[in-house]
Amino acid sequence: MPATVQKISLPRRLNDAISAAARDAWPLECCGLLIGSGDEDISITEIVSAANVSETPGERFAIDPQVQFDTLRRFRDSDSRIVGHFHSHPNGEPRPSKHDIAMAYDPNAIWVVVAIPKQGQCTLAAYTIEQSSGAAGQVPIDLEE
């Protein structure tokens, strides 16, 4: 069963920044970290873009481990924390792939997946993933002004 996250709040400016990162990276996958707070209702307050260090960045993503380490260190004495990550699916769907599900390790992590066509609008969707069952539960995104 997916984690207990009920919804995420995402400022429109961060939604736009994630979409811009996906457009800029196209046809490769972009990726980054989501910073925020909360348990059932997660408030995302910042994103940290990262280099996609995957050997196949057009098909997979891997967040630069140094960015993860530096971000963990930056927020260790804060109420904010890494609550998940985002990545894009160029010419794909805004849902976790089989590979994404296989890579999931934290059932409370938010996965924001951005579908980015060659032309047109980005579509964002958020999920939690329970790796043992392979269940990906969509989490509503509340866009804030």
| Per-residue pLDDT tens over the stretch 104-117 | 888 889 999 999 98
Amino acid at 57: P
For residue 2, tell me if it sits in a domain.
no
The pLDDT score that the predictor gives to residue 1 is: 40
| Per-residue pLDDT tens over the stretch 23-61 | 999 999 999 999 999 999 999 999 999 999 999 999 999
**Edge-to-edge, what's the strand order for the sheet holding 135-139?**
135-139, 123-130, 110-116, 81-90, 31-37, 41-50, 7-11, 141-144
> For residue 138, what are the CA distances in angstroms to 7, 54, 96, 105?
9, 25, 10, 17
CATH code of 22's domain: 3.40.140.10
Distance in angstroms (rounded) separating the CA atoms of residues 37 and 104: 20
Give how many domains the chain has, as a whole number.
1
Question: Across-strand partners of 19?
Answer: none
**Mean pLDDT throughout 117-136?**
89
For residue 50, tell me if it sits in a domain.
yes
- CB neighbourhood size of 64 (10 A): 15
For residue 52, tell me if it sits in a domain.
yes
Structure tokens, 15: 């939604």
Per-residue pLDDT band for 2 (boundaries 50, 70, 90) equals: very low
For residue 1, tell me if it sits in a domain.
no
Burial of 66 (0-12, 13-18, 19+ CB in 10 A): exposed
For residue 107, tell me if it sits in a domain.
yes
The pLDDT score that the predictor gives to residue 45 is: 98
For residue 51, tell me if it sits in a domain.
yes
The pLDDT score that the predictor gives to residue 24 is: 95
Report whether pLDDT(15) > 90.
yes
Q: Which domain holds residue 51?
A: 7-144
**Mean pLDDT throughout 121-143?**
92
Report whether pLDDT(88) > 90.
yes
